[in-house]
Structure 1
Amino acid sequence: MVRFKNRYILCELVFEDDFLVHPTEERNLYYKIKEAIAKAHGDYGVGVLQGGLSVKYLNVYTNIVFIRARRAYHKLVLSALPFIRSIAKYSCFLNTLHVGGSIRSCQKFLQKYGRQQLAILLRKCKTQEEKQEVQKSILNCSLIEKDQVTVEDDIGD
């Protein structure tokens, strides 16, 4: 039995408008990627990626996308992604963050990337109130129980 090796492409959907949640579905994104591959590489590109291309994960809140492609042809997908300019009547583009050999490696990168973005956001805060709001939102997103946070805050004072 032959094992197909894949590459997972971690992308961020960047929309031009300021809506928080866009009603984008995985199949819409899949068809747009397939259309971009057809535009960039013709029937050959569509043919070689027909069985191995899929959108594994799409989070409409964070706009994070995992795309799976066969390892031998993942560069065809990477070269076609800049041709995507809209999805479901929304103007957007795909920002490639990472290419990995497994979903797990992409998840590890995504955690590290998220921590870096929060640190950048914290540094950009101009007032103390903004910093407190960002720190509060970071604590709300963490897995620590609120009771444990108040105990730790009491100990730190």
Structure 2
Amino acid sequence: MVRFKNRWLLVEFLPMPTHTPGREPRAAAEEFTSKQIWVALKQSVLTHFGDTGWGAVGSSLTVKYFSPKTNLCIIRVAREPHKIAWASVTLVTAVDGRRCVPHVVHVSGTIKQAQLAAIRHNREVVARYRARANVPVGYQDSYEEYLRTSAQEIEGLQD
């Protein structure tokens, strides 16, 4: 028996601040959805690799998890064409018309390693938010609950 082998891409979509002349730049208030990310990935594959690239990647490309709070996304793709998907992710410039910069944080062969990397990355992002806010180390805030619930969501993902 042969099993279907995957690659798991852990991607952070960093929204670009919108800049209106004469005003302060501000971050995009609207959040992405996993469906919008999937459509942007499909368009990127079609644009840069054509129908052949989409034929190789399309049947296995799925967005398994997306957190709008940290813009962290877990994408599953078949092992053979995973480099096409990886290249397409890095070439995405906008999701649903909102500019963003994709940052591939981790690539793994199992969902478990992607989950562990996502939980680790969420903790690092929250630590950066706390450092930016200059809060003491023992301070309890809403991020504690977020870290707990996001870890449960991520660990609950099935292959």
Task: Name the TM-score class by shorter chain.
Answer: 0.7 to 0.9
TM-score, normalised relative to structure 1: 0.74
2:62 counterpart of 1:36: no
Q: Is the 8 A contact 1:11 1:98 kept in 2?
A: yes
Q: Is the 8 A contact 1:21 1:60 kept in 2?
A: no
Matches within 5 A, 1:49-60: 49-60=57-68
Aligned Cα root-mean-square deviation (Å) = 2.4
> What percent identity do the matched residue pairs reach?
24
Q: Is the 8 A contact 2:9 2:107 kept in 1?
A: yes
The worse-fitting range, judged by mean Cα deviation, of 75-84 and 12-21 is 12-21
Give 5+ residue unaligned stretches, structure 2: 18-26, 149-159
Match of 1:76 among 84, 93, 103: 84
TM-score, normalised relative to structure 2: 0.73
Matches within 5 A, 1:125-144: 130-132=134-136, 135-137=139-141, 139=144, 141=146
Higher helix share: 1
Number of residue pairs matched by the alignment = 138
Matches within 5 A, 1:1-157: 1-17=1-17, 18-19=27-28, 21-22=30-31, 24-121=32-129, 130-132=134-136, 135-137=139-141, 139=144, 141=146
Cα distance, 1:133 vs structure 2: 8.2
Cα shift readout 1:92-112 (whole Å, capped 9, x = no counterpart): 121110011122211111222
